Structure 1
Amino acid sequence: MRAMPARRAKETARSGGSAGRQLSLILYLISGLLPLSAGAAASFDFQTLVARAEKLARQPYQAAPEVPTFLKLLTYDQYRDIRYRPSEALWRREGLPFQAQFFHPGAFFPRSVEIHVLENGREHLVPFSVKRFDYGKNHFTEPMPGSLGYAGFRLHYPLNRPDYLDEVAVFLGASYFRSLGRNEHYGLSARGLAIDTAQPRGEEFPVFRSFWLEKPKPGATAMRLYALLDGPSVTGAYRFDIKPGDNTAMTVHARLFFRRSPEVLGIAPLTSMFLHGENSLRPFNDFRPEVHDSDGLALQNGSGEHVWRPLSNPRELRVSAFQLQDPKGFGLLQRDRDIDHYQDFEAHYQSRPSAWITPLGNWGQGEVRLVEIPTPDETNDNVVAFWTPAQKPGKGEAMDLDYRIDWGYRPAEKPRGGYVLATRRGAGDLPGTRRYVIDFKGGKLDGLAAGSPVDADVWVGRTGRVIRQQIEKNPATGGWRLSFQVQPQGAGPLELRAFLRKGSETLTETWSYLES
């Protein structure tokens, strides 16, 4: 990842899931590109898209016009009653392994995007057609515009069995997209870019304004698509290579052009939901023990150290920063896979994917930033994580991005040694003290018998001190449990870190916690 003057630049993606979660993405929504055209065939490659993004960046930002009012005023139920006809799926009649279905604009998605097909290097606009949709009980008093366009699309592929095409990826809403691995249910999302997240001036949501879907060949196991990003601060050309599997891998290649230098540039942003979990103290009137799409932020720095930060639903907005040099990766993970811990047979939280970002190349100095937003229910995506470089690009500069996103049960993040399985907390034995219980598992830990000389390094910031500590074998998990109590000292949040070792040998990743 590097920034450079635009003139010298070199070439270096929500739907499905529970209905309520769809609403959480709808603060800022899709825009279209420019007035939809007839779309005569033309030669197209990534450099073509780069040239369009660069040209667009030299123009003042203009949001596309909205769809007619009668579509914008659709209720949630009315919009959900508009369904795409599977018989009209792109490439269905040809029996190709990848097929695409489109979303209708309206309600939460008041602007359209252009969708094109690439075949033999030529681009063709996919025109809007009411024949593609079943409108259910909806009856409109106005005719549907013929040039309406679509709100987004989803890709289908025989992920779980060869005779059925499962939904494997969705691009819908601003620059949001998401995917999943084999035998999983949709959960967290990614975005093309995050601008000024959690800043006083408010967040800017750049949008994917146009897409190009490259027609797959018979027997293809991977799919390529392109997207044009646009927003008040930045434009960008994106290429996605998607390979479904146990872990679905997305390789992202992008070039960005900046109209201005943002206050916070969020690279490879991930967005998830955490309502309550094992570490929650706030009371919830909920029969389910835990409710979350992800239970922690994991990261690996350039030296190879793994860090785990359990997520929380804070009382106030909280932003944490982890400074790194050339990170090896980061992600929002769902480690807890025990259905007994969720008891939700509809949401399937135990089957939500993790997402792990692997930089392709050196990203230099910067930080992984974690934003946690208070939420009263599970309809809000209240967790955001992204990389922000120490040196931001300036107005008129360009930046190249290359990274991979692995979506799945156990993505590429897996630490070499032991990892944090669960975090619990509660009141300590003495008045005003706090107790923390961390279960570690994996690596050499599992092979150590009870009574082995396992030690813990526990660090507490200036606002507290450790008063009691215990390490023991956990017979239920086969791992080890660390418990300690902290006496707060003075005002301010408690910063905590801990890991297990045997002599000078580090056995686990580093557990990191912030108690406000």
Structure 2
Amino acid sequence: MSTPLNRRQFLEGAAGGAALLSLAGPAAAQAPTGAASFNIPSLVDGQRFDPALVVDAARALAQRPLIPLAANDLPEGYAALPADQYAGIRMQPGATVWAGENRGFTVEPLHRGYVFSNPVSLFTIEEGTVRRIGFDRSKFDYGRVAPPTGNADLQFSGMRIAAGLERPFEVAVFQGGTFFRALARGQNFGAMARALILRPGETRGEELPFFRAFWIERPSPAVGSLVIHGLLDSESVAGAVRMTLRPGDVTFVDVEMTLFARQALDHVGFGCTSATFLSGPQSRRVFDDIRPSIGEVSGVQMQSGGGEWIYRPVNNPATLQVSSFVDENPKGFGLVQRERDPAAFQDDDQRFELRPSVWMEPLGDWGAGSVQLIEIPSDSEPNKNIIMYWRPKQPLAAGSETSLSYRQAWCWQPPERPPLALATRSRQGKGSQGRRRRFIVEFTGDKLADAALIASTRATITAQPGAVHNVRLWPYPERKLMRVGFEVDPGNDNLSELRLVLQSGGQPVSETWLNRWTW
């Protein structure tokens, strides 16, 4: 089920293939011209802004069927631009929103083209008043691409946000569908989030919501945060999203969402993150590549509603794998990069060791459901083949209204850390006989420097189905490390769920390490 690069990029970029539906009557003749005109009378240029108006707009959208529109108004050749030529289209220096105002943030509207062909309306909120960001081709440097002719209002495909006064850095990008990504200071862009995911991994096909418009509040330098309001839409649902971006050594994004279901939704995902993982010592997939590992993330970390800390390495499997971790009111979950040693990747271009971990902290009552992990076979590095999100047990009924909120941390390591040893590296290979597989798991943490604790520590390991053999522990207290080795005999089965935890006196010394072995 490997997804070709062009198709994956198309889905991410072209998910907004729908008309910017007018909610106004005939009196709205003053709306901006162009195929992508956006016209909600209470949210257009010159109107007073109230966040409740975005919620009202989403509610109104949900009362009407989605009107699809092919985004065919691009200048000739722009939809077929190569990726490198499209990436060369940037705003002129000093042309970004709030440039030179020392507000702590600037916003760069992104040109349409390549796979990002669908229009997004951008507005700022200046002293409580909505101001439309109009398209102006003179503000762009087109690099090797011929600038568009005429005066058509092409709108934008999204926006790039930079933060900081003395040493500004790119901190977030919103572009394509409901995709966005952020990073902490010193990191490279890697994992990608979605405001909403619908029916991923299903044979009937995934539904791709998209943002119609953003309203960005003009920031105050003293506050250090940027507030963004978004209006999303899809065949089955419309919604309002409020995001508060607080960049730094950890970049936080507080997300508040209200959804209005047009149709019943039995597979909806919140707090979604996706990333690339192709190969590593914990994966059986072998690539003819000069690098020992290829991956933006190394695993999944969770803190269950009951307080258990769990870590599972991600894999690039031979067949599509979907895992469900059933829970109620989870305390946190995310895709994490635990490998920070450049020698593990030996890639001077991609620098996977600098990619962010993304931690989701649910706020309020999320009820019963499951953390879903989808691992898609892939041999294409740009593909985001690892997907993680929360799937509520209760479907969304047609006509229903659903509100929830959560906090994202784009970070080097999640801000909430267990008081336990962490599983920092995992390896697997051929076992001693037959179909056995040998596993090595390394745990590190301050507890493992305690000689008395180490002496009483045991590894509790299960395999379902399968049998565990040859368990060994190698403590290295001077390095605060313990290495656990064991073999699993799956018998005639081609899948086994593995579970390992270090314990002393019946209490956990380590987080719980999980893995799914597949033949």
Query: Residue 513 of structure 2 aligns with which residue?
Result: 511
Which whole-Å CA distance do the structure 2 matches of 1:436 and 1:449 have between them?
26
Deviation at 1:447, TM superposition (A): 2.9
C-alpha distance 492-382 of structure 1, shift in aligned 2 (>3 A): same
1:147 is matched by which residue type in structure 2? Answer: D
Match of 1:491 in 2: 493
Corresponding residue number in structure 1 for 2:461: 458
Matched with 1:322 is 325
**2:420–2:447: 8 Å Cα contact kept in structure 1?**
yes
Higher mean alpha-carbon deviation, 27-36 vs 452-461, is at 27-36
Change (3 A) 1:100 1:495: same
Q: Look up the SS of the partner of 1:26 in the other structure.
A: helix
One-letter code aligned to 1:92: A
Distance 1:163 1:64 in 2: 43
Equivalent residue in structure 2 for 1:336, among 339, 344, 354: 339
1:449–1:289 CA distance, 2 compared to 1 (3 A): farther
Q: CA deviation at 1:284?
A: 1.0
Cα deviation for residue 30 of structure 1 reads 4.8
Residue aligning to 2:20: 33
What is the deviation of 1:96? 1.7
Letter in 2 for 1:103: L
Letter in 2 for 1:99: T
- Distance (whole Å) between structure 2 residues aligned to residue 117 and residue 457 of structure 1: 56
2:68 is the alignment partner of 1:68: no
Structure 1 unmatched ranges of 5 or more: 1-19
Does structure 1 residue 132 correspond to structure 2 residue 139?
A: yes
Check conservation: 2:449, 2:478, Cα contact below 8 A.
Answer: no
**Greater CA drift, 29-38 or 472-481:** 29-38
CA distance in 1: counterparts of 2:227 and 2:312, whole angstroms: 34
**Number of aligned residue pairs:** 492
Aligned partners of 2:297 and 2:357 also within 8 Å? yes
TM-score (norm 1): 0.92
Q: 1:94 aligns with which of 93, 101, 119?
A: 101
Q: CA deviation at 1:446?
A: 3.1
Amino acid at match of 1:43: R
Question: Contact conserved, 2:444 with 2:480, CA < 8 A, in 1?
Answer: yes
Q: Which amino acid aligns with 2:10?
A: I
Q: 1:166 to 1:217 in 2, by over 3 A?
A: same
Q: Distance between the aligned counterparts of 2:452 and 2:9, measured in 1?
A: 48
Could you tell me how far apart the structure 1 residues matched to 2:454 and 2:157 are?
60
Q: CA RMSD in A?
A: 1.9
* CA distances 1:73-106 after superposition (whole Å, capped 9, x unpaired): 3232332232222310100132221111111001
Match of 1:119 among 103, 109, 126: 126
Cα displacement (A) at 1:25 = 4.0
Hey, what does 1:300 align to over in structure 2? 303
CA shift in 2, pair 1:210/1:417, >3 Å: same
Per-residue CA shift, 1:178-216, capped at 9, x if unaligned? 111121111101001000000111101100110001001
Q: What is the percentage of aligned positions where both structures have the same residue? A: 34
Shift in alpha-carbon separation, 1:450–1:377, aligned structure 2, 3 A? farther
TM-score (structure 2 length as normaliser): 0.91
- Give matches, 1:270-309, under 5 Å: 270-309=273-312
Q: CA deviation at 1:414?
A: 1.9
SS at match of 1:275: strand
**1:63–1:413 CA distance, 2 compared to 1 (3 A):** farther
2:238 match: 235
What whole-Å deviation, never above 9, does each CA across 1:6-52 have from its counterpart, x for those lacking one? xxxxxxxxxxxxxx999954324253634425843112222110000
Q: In the aligned structure 1, how far is the partner of 2:223 from the partner of 2:99?
A: 14
Of 148, 154, 165, 1:148 maps to 154
Give 1:3's aligned residue.
none
Residue aligned with 1:40, SS: coil
Of 110, 115, 132, the match for 1:103: 110
Compute the displacement of 1:137 (Å).
2.4
Shift of 1:450: 9.3
CA drift of 1:64 comes to: 4.1
The AA in structure 1 aligned to 2:11 is L
Checking the alignment, whether the CA contact within 8 Å between 2:103 and 2:219 is kept in structure 1 is yes
Report the secondary structure of 1:498's partner residue. strand
Question: How far off is 1:348 after superposition?
Answer: 1.1
Distance, in Å, in 2 between the alignment partners of 1:290 and 1:475 is 28
Once residues 459 and 330 of structure 2 are traced to their aligned partners in structure 1, the CA distance between those partners, rounded to angstroms, is 25
Write the distance in 1 (CA, Å) between the matches of 2:454 and 2:177: 54
Between the aligned partners of 1:82 and 1:316, the Cα distance in structure 2 is 38
Which sits farther off after the overlay, 27-36 or 497-506? 27-36
Is contact 1:375-1:382 (8 Å) kept? yes
Per-residue deviation, 1:364: 0.9
User: Which position in structure 2 is the counterpart of 1:16?
Assistant: none
TM-superposed CA distance for 1:288, in Å, is 1.0
Give the letter aligned to residue 484 of structure 1.
Answer: F
The counterpart of 1:468, out of the listed 452, 467, 470, is 470
Greater RCO (CA < 8 Å, at least 6 residues apart): 1
Q: 469-478 or 207-216: which moved more? A: 469-478
8 Å CA contact retained: 2:46, 2:129: yes
Q: Which moved more, 1:29-38 or 1:223-232?
A: 29-38
Gaps of 5+ in 2: 22-35
Partner residue, 1:478: 480
Contact kept, 8 Å, 2:5 with 2:380, in 1: the verdict is no
Q: Indicate if the aligned counterparts of 2:316 and 2:375 stay in contact, CA closer than 8 A.
A: yes
- The answer as to 2:196 corresponding to 1:193 is yes
SS at match of 2:287: coil
Following TM superposition, by how much is the alpha carbon of 1:313 offset from its aligned partner in structure 2, in angstroms? 0.3
Alignment counterpart, residue 367 of structure 1, candidates 344, 365, 370: 370
Distance 1:351 1:411 in 2: 14
Question: CA contact under 8 A between 2:450 and 2:477: conserved in structure 1?
Answer: no
